[in-house]
Amino acid sequence: MEFEFSEQERAFLREVGQFLRDNYDPKVMDVSRENMAQVCDTPERRGFMGKLAARRWLGITWPKQYGGQDGEGFHEFLLNEKLSSVGSPQIGKGIGIIGKTLIRVGSEKLKQEFLPQILAAKIEFAVGYSEPNAGSDSAAMRLKAERQGEGWILNGQKIFTTSAHFADWYWVGARTDPDKPKHHGISLFLIRMDDPGLTIQPMYTMGGERTNAVFFDNVFVHDDYRVGELNKGFQYIAEALDLERFTMFTVSPVRGRTELLCDYVRDTVRDGRPLKDDPVIRQKVAQLATECEVARLLGLRFVDAARDGRKTPTVEASEYKLYTTELSRRLADATMDIAGPGSQLALGTADAPLKGRAESCYTYTVIDTIGGGSSEVQKNIIATRKLGLPRNF
C-alpha cells in the first residue's frame, strides 16, 4: 500500500482547496455542526452541491455509461475529506448509497429517472431503515408492505430519518414476506416524501439537530419503484451500510478539533502555569494526535481494499467507522476535561474556552457512534467476519 499521494492527487487537492476558497459562504460551511455539516438542508447548501456537480466531482467512481468518470475511489475519498474539513456538504447518500445500489441492481426505469438527477445534485434522499424496535438491527424491521394490484401498501413507522423534512424521495426498507427468515423477507422501495400517507414528526438530538419519526398510513408504491429483487432488500442494505460507514464519517473534522485542542493547550495558562508544560495533558494530547493518524490510515486501507475489485470491504468499513467515531468521542471527552468547567458553556457563549466547541462536540459525537450501525454492531461484524468468533458467545 502506497502512503504518499501522487502528484495527480496533490493537484486534485489543490484544485478542491481553491474551489472552497473561491466559494466560501458561512451559510454553507460550518464546522461547528460537526458530522451533520454534510447534509443539504438549506437552499444555499443544495446550491453548493450544484457547483460540485458542475465541476463533475459527483459520481467520480460511477461508470461512464451512467454519466460518471470510471475514476478512482481515492479521489472521492480526498474530495469528501477536503469538504468536511471546512464543514461543507459532502457527497453521501445520493451518490454513494442510492446511486451505487441503483447502478448495481436497479431497473432501467429507475436508473434513467434517478441517476441523472443525482449527478446534477437536483434531488435529495432520506434513508429509512431504523424503527422503534429495529435500531441497529435492520433485519428486525417490521414496516409492513402488502401486495395490492400493481404495487404495495405500506403501513408502520420509521425513526431517526435525518433528512425526511427536506428530502424529495424516501429510500425505504419494508417487510414484504413476514414468513421468511428476518434477513430474507425485506425489499427496498423509493417513495416520494410528499406522499399524503406519510406523516413526519421532528425528533431533536442532543446537539440540537433535527431527525424525524415517519409514519406510514396506507402508502401506495407502484412495483416499478421497488429496487432490485423481491425480498433481497437486506442484502442491498448491508452493502450500502458499508459505504455509509466509510463515506459519512470523515477524519478531517476530528483532525481539526485535535488541532484546535493543541492550540488551546499551547496558549492557555492555568494557575500561573502553561497547560503545555503539564506532563499529563501533554501525554493525553500526544495520544489523541497519534490516534488521529491511525484513523486516517484506516481510511486509506479501506480505499486500498476497495480498489482491489473485491466486494465492498465490510470488515475494513466497520474497523474504520468504529475507530474513527469512538476516537471522536474520546477527543470530545478529553477536551471537556482539559478545558475545565468553562467547557460546559454552549457554542457562541462569550469567553467560552475553544469558542464553545467543547460542549457542542461532546453532544454531537454521541450521534456518530450510533448512526450507520452502532459501535456494538461494528464490534460484532469484526468479531464474526474477521476473527471467526461464533455469533452466540
In tens, the pLDDT along 374-383 reads 899 889 989 9
Band (308; pLDDT cuts 50, 70, 90):
low
Q: Which CATH superfamily is domain 249-386 in?
A: Butyryl-CoA Dehydrogenase, subunit A, domain 3 (1.20.140.10)
pLDDT of residue 368: 86
| Mean pLDDT (whole number) for 51-75 | 91
Q: Which amino acid is at 113?
A: E
Torsion 260-262-267-272 (CA) sign? positive
The number of CA neighbours under 13 Å toward the Cβ of 320 is 27
Q: What is the CATH number of domain 126-231?
A: 2.40.110.10
Nearest to 237 by CA among 376, 131, 163: 131
Cα separation, 124 vs 163, in Å, equals 8
Tell me the pairing of strands 273-274 and 210-222: unpaired
Cα separation, 374 vs 294, in Å, equals 20
Lowest mean pLDDT among 90-94, 163-167, 197-201, 336-340: 90-94
Band (1; pLDDT cuts 50, 70, 90):
low
Cα separation, 347 vs 24, in Å, equals 21
pLDDT higher than 60, residue 311 = no
Band (35; pLDDT cuts 50, 70, 90):
confident
User: What tens digit of pLDDT does each residue of 171-228 get?
Assistant: 999 999 999 988 899 999 999 999 999 999 999 988 788 999 999 999 999 999 999 9
pLDDT of residue 392: 65
pLDDT higher than 90, residue 303 = no
Band (307; pLDDT cuts 50, 70, 90):
low
pLDDT of residue 391: 78
Band (304; pLDDT cuts 50, 70, 90):
confident
| Whole-Å CA distances, 307 to 70, 75, 141, 276, 329 | 12, 12, 32, 42, 30
Band (42; pLDDT cuts 50, 70, 90):
very high
pLDDT higher than 90, residue 312 = no
Lowest mean pLDDT among 174-188, 253-267, 360-374: 360-374
Lowest mean pLDDT among 124-128, 215-219, 386-390: 386-390
pLDDT higher than 60, residue 309 = no
pLDDT higher than 60, residue 393 = no
Cα separation, 146 vs 218, in Å, equals 10
H/E segment holding residue 39: none
Q: What is the DSSP letter of 204?
A: E
User: In the chain, which segments carry CATH 1.20.140.10?
Assistant: 249-386
Band (36; pLDDT cuts 50, 70, 90):
confident
Band (3; pLDDT cuts 50, 70, 90):
low
Q: Which three cell numbers stand for residue 187?
A: 425489499
pTM score, whole prediction:
0.88
Lowest mean pLDDT among 98-102, 111-115, 251-255, 305-309: 305-309
Tell me the pairing of strands 169-175 and 125-128: parallel
Per-chain mean pLDDT for the chain: 91
Check if the beta carbon of residue 325 is closer than 8 Å to that of residue 368.
yes
Check if the beta carbon of residue 254 is closer than 8 Å to that of residue 328.
yes
Cα separation, 60 vs 160, in Å, equals 29
User: In the chain, which segments carry CATH 2.40.110.10?
Assistant: 126-231
Band (72; pLDDT cuts 50, 70, 90):
confident
The count of other CB atoms within 10 Å of the CB of residue 142 is 15
Cα separation, 317 vs 299, in Å, equals 8
